[in-house]
A and B are shown apart, each in its own frame.
Chain A
Amino acid sequence: GENVGLHLPTLSVQEGDNSIINCAYSNSASDYFIWYKQESGKGPQFIIDIRSNMDKRQGQRVTVLLNKTVKHLSLQIAATQPGDSAVYFCAEGGFQKLVFGTGTRLLVSP
């Protein structure tokens, strides 16, 4: 993929397990956060977002948790499937730009 994973943390799970991907952000003033998924050979794809006035937001099989006290964001994927294998990025929304984290590679074994 685009991130060859030289320094990418990797999370390996079995199909059907729940996955939790973590992200620490740097700017305490950030008020908008997004999770993206990037499959090999493709651009990042929006998964879910959350604003700073929320602690939790749920989508289809995904949940994002935001802890502003420790500047931590997590993405939970329920019943992980092989198709979920990808690199996952958290991003902080800024003025007309996103600041991306380094990414986590999720490997799902059948």
Chain B
Amino acid sequence: KAGVTQTPRYLIKTRGQQVTLSCSPISGHRSVSWYQQTPGQGLQFLFEYFSETQRNKGNFPGRFSGRQFSNSRSEMNVSTLELGDSALYLCASSWTTGGDTGELFFGEGSRLTVL
């Protein structure tokens, strides 16, 4: 069974640009979550989607957005990039359908560098 796939793995952007990251969950998983990982703040929750609906959102500005498609694939977008957005963005999928988190399966992340 293929794991969680994230693309691109690495990307470099400049301040003010926008970026879109993609995530394909494990087949059969309908919940997709996004996390930001930085050395200073660690792993922080961005948002969670289930059946194309955002069910939960972390404390990030509106520049961070996401969506989920009917095939459970998800994208996240960051607009008007700032230097502080440089991070590893991790996608995780889960079989859970309810409120319980369940075991999250993480992809290898998309490393974003903002210059």
Contact = CB atoms under 8 A, between A and B. Distances in A.
Provide the main secondary structure of the chain A interface. Answer: loop
Given A34-B103, A44-B106, A89-B43, A96 B33 contact: yes
Contacts of A42: 108
B21 interface: no
A110 interface: no
29 contacts: A2-B39, A2-B88, A3-B37, A4-B39, A5-B39, A32-B100, A41-B108, A43-B90, A43-B107, A43-B108, A43-B109, A44-B90, A44-B106, A45-B106, A89-B42, A89-B43, A93-B102, A95-B56, A95-B99, A95-B101, A97-B33, A97-B56, A97-B58, A98-B43, A98-B101, A100-B43, A100-B44, A102-B42, A103-B42
